[in-house]
Structure 1
């Protein structure tokens, strides 16, 4: 009833106050120009396929027991909502199939983008041992669309069991591209890429760059926390260096002014994306076709049950629809 609604308004009015300090200056709000969204087209052609929403579920987990249920929920959701998925590191199943079921989700995800994942240290080792066939077999047996190479020199350094890189990740990626015809994405793992690294990656014939930017889960810091206190105290400043997703979008846009036709022309903007409005802002700001990745929020809901993940994604897609109807990027905002 109207009277009940009015009473609710009175009761909630004080709780609904906003402050100018909380204002989101990234957008101009344009309430005049659209009806309420219904069946909004959020689709994007990406990685040679059509995604129904510009959302990528970033690489996370596998080979841990509970990973089978988590990855199964994610793959099912990607199929339902038309999104893409990158697996967690597939190192455990390169030569041992005991945990294969934690990664084998092509049937569940259908024809949506589905990518295998290896660290640059493992790729370097396989190149050195002339066993590149192991990568080809991995991608083929998973029926994956290609390989994500995660670049993580700081994580490897701080990991107690980590590998030592014998050459630069750029050299390893270039050698890999010379020796295989697989499609490749390159990503970081929580600290992003600086402008020089982005410039090098954009010049490579890879399918996409995934930011893995500063501001989300930081795997270097995660490894530091596994080590002794003295090493943690000495190393911790490294946990606070890196590039945010917004900084990286700006860097890529600047590089495009110098070279408007780079070899790599797609981005997965991940790292520190807290909600769909963050993703909408950054993908709208990008001059290259882009989707946005969310990991920790998706992991939380996928760990609970499928219904929790389903509701979360439905809400995020609804927010994207509202944003597309009523929000325009504020050209005067620089933050």
Structure 2
């Protein structure tokens, strides 16, 4: 039986509420605590000249500059409360020129009115750099013309395809048919007019999976490892304590591959596509560590969600702090830009 609009909206509200619950966090499991950047006591730099800007440059999209590698990870969409959150986040993307992943556009496949959310978002943030988002389980079953409609609705610069087997298996309304996933991604890449980026939702990637994606033509993978919001836990806490799925979710509460380990796996796989990272990123120093390990872009979700529930000013303050921390990390490793941070091998 298909999920009604009311059930969808209730599920998305549950997701926001439970994602902010400390019980849903796998704090301390990112692997970032084991990474140190080597301090340079005499950087031959002027702090004012440290450059954390980067660019978005793929064959199927116009190139443009970004203020930093930090991007807003995909969170929520398709319900009234989500619209206000997304408008605030999109305004930040517009003002500061950072990438913003939108929440799942699954509802738009069956409810054409749901696309109106992005019309409103675009009115308040016409220059926002949005990344569309569809789940692999929906991609497999959906005509590619409908996927193009999702990209057009957001005026997206790229499209995330999120892969989330654990979440779907623990979600009462989950879609667990993942057969022909790789072929569906290959078909999308050939058809899509924007770059395609594959992302997990908090359980990371193995070497073998990253290698399997190598021949698909994708532009990037966001490894989205364990260490932040764990969607297996979130789905478990949506169930009553007496329900079987609640207890099954406890069994898988620490399932996944950490953010750092997933980045190491990408290095071992020697992939040609870009590698992005997210999962438990909380500070600009975390961003610096992941960039030093090879990540080209670094996504942050929970801190942006918390700030978006407050105000535009809270979002500005958060991004200012994150980018300042990132600049200080570069300065104190003697790196004048992100390329030097990666190439100087400052990771210990």
CA distance in 2, matches of 1:276, 1:305: 21
SS of alignment partner, residue 27 of structure 1: coil
Partner of 1:252: 266
Deviates more, 1:303-312 or 1:213-222: 213-222
CA distance in 2, matches of 1:202, 1:223: 31
CA distance in 2, matches of 1:208, 1:49: 17
Root-mean-square deviation (Å) = 2.4
SS of alignment partner, residue 282 of structure 2: coil
- Shift in Å, 1:176: 2.6
- Shift in Å, 1:109: 4.3
CA distance in 1, matches of 2:187, 2:138: 13
Q: Is the 8 A contact 1:155 1:223 kept in 2?
A: yes
CA distance in 2, matches of 1:35, 1:181: 41
CA distance in 2, matches of 1:222, 1:100: 26
CA distance in 2, matches of 1:216, 1:102: 27
CA distance in 2, matches of 1:37, 1:79: 26
2:181 pairs with 132, 147, 169, which one? 169
Please state if 1:278 is matched with 2:286: yes
- Shift in Å, 1:217: 1.0
Unaligned runs of 5+ in 1: 1-22
Give the length in aligned residue pairs: 300
SS of alignment partner, residue 29 of structure 1: coil
Q: Normalized against structure 2, the TM-score is what?
A: 0.79
Partner of 1:57: 72
Please state if 1:224 is matched with 2:236: yes
Q: Is the 8 A contact 2:159 2:196 kept in 1?
A: yes
Q: Is the 8 A contact 2:37 2:346 kept in 1?
A: no
CA change 1:181–1:332 in 2 (3 A) is: closer
CA distance in 2, matches of 1:173, 1:192: 18
- Shift in Å, 1:161: 0.9
Q: How do 1:165-314 residues align onto structure 2 when only pairs under 5 Å count?
A: 165=177, 167-229=179-241, 230-256=244-270, 262=272, 264=273, 266-286=274-294, 290-314=296-320
Partner of 1:91: 106
Structure 1 outlier segments of 4+, above 6 Å: none
CA change 1:307–1:39 in 2 (3 A) is: farther
CA change 1:298–1:235 in 2 (3 A) is: closer
CA distance in 2, matches of 1:227, 1:196: 33
1:123 pairs with 139, 142, 145, which one? 139
Of structures 1 and 2, the one scoring higher in RCO (CA 8 A, sep 6+) is 2
Q: Is the 8 A contact 2:204 2:223 kept in 1?
A: yes
Q: Deviations over 1:78-109 (max 9, x none)?
A: 12222101100011223424333433434544
Q: Normalized against structure 1, the TM-score is what?
A: 0.82
Partner of 2:163: 151
Partner of 1:6: none
Unaligned runs of 5+ in 2: 1-32, 58-62, 335-340
CA change 1:25–1:214 in 2 (3 A) is: closer
SS of alignment partner, residue 66 of structure 1: helix
- Shift in Å, 1:141: 3.0
CA distance in 2, matches of 1:246, 1:164: 27
- Highest Rg: 1 or 2? 1
CA distance in 2, matches of 1:148, 1:35: 37
Deviates more, 1:289-298 or 1:179-188: 179-188
